[in-house]
Amino acid sequence: MSSRGWMIAGGVGAGLLLLWLLPGWLTLLVVLAVVGVPIAGYLMLDPSQRRRLGRAAGRGRLGP
């Protein structure tokens, strides 16, 4: 399995563990934070930085 596959499997496992251990509203808060922080970071970039990030992602230079 690739390293990305292991990361996805670990994330799903951690999410299921949180769902089992924490109350529903707290789990929802954690999931929203995990999704929201990268989105907020992307939205804080300048348009030129977003283009640069898009070019780097298109060349496959981003990722684990």
Contact 53, 45 (CB under 8 A): yes
DSSP 30: H
| Per-residue tens of pLDDT for the chain, all 64 residues | 677 788 888 888 888 888 888 887 888 888 888 889 989 999 999 999 999 988 888 777 666 5
Distance between CA atoms of 57 and 60, rounded to whole angstroms?
A: 5
